[in-house]
Structure 1
Amino acid sequence: MKYLILLVMVLAGIWWIRKQRPDHKSAQQSKPSGPQAMVTCAHCGAHVPSDDAVAGQQAVYCSEAHRQLREA
């Protein structure tokens, strides 16, 4: 019986500690959750969200490395 009470106390303590921690999920969801416009990388043809795309002088790329390869 004493082990059952100890188990309940430990679980209650864990629940209380987790309840006291700040919720980081709301801070991570700063980007809009709706649909986003997609663009095609001029180097490899990959489709990336327009917010994550790298704009070059000639076109749009999926990464800075592809921009440098294409426009160098």
Structure 2
Amino acid sequence: MKYLVLLLIVLGGIWWIRQQRKPDQATTQKPGPQVMVPCAHCGTHVPEGDAVRGGKGMYCSAGHRDRHEG
């Protein structure tokens, strides 16, 4: 019986430590909406941060940029 109580205390301590290490939900900023840009080659919309920039516009991949710009 004493081992069961000891096990519960250890597990409770581990749970409490893990709860203290988690970031506070109120202070963490969730990422907002991203601007979507169309690919100049195929028209697929991709997030601006993931788009590949080219001389004639934005592209969904380096392959489409190479094909479109020659």
TM-score range for the pair, normalised by the shorter chain length:
0.5 to 0.7
State the Cα RMSD in Å: 2.8
**Aligned pair in 2 of structure 1 residues 14, 57: CA closer, same or farther (>3 Å)?**
same
Q: Counterpart of 1:39?
A: 37
Partner Cα separation in structure 2 for residue 14 and residue 42 of structure 1 = 53
Q: Which runs of 5+ in 2 are unaligned?
A: none
Compute the TM-score of the two structures, normalised by the length of structure 2. 0.60
Superposed counterparts of 1:1-72, under 5 Å: 1-21=1-21, 23=23, 26=28, 33-72=31-70
Compute the TM-score of the two structures, normalised by the length of structure 1. 0.59
Q: Which runs of 5+ in 1 are unaligned?
A: none
How much identity, in percent, do the aligned residues show?
60
Q: Which has the larger radius of gyration?
A: 2
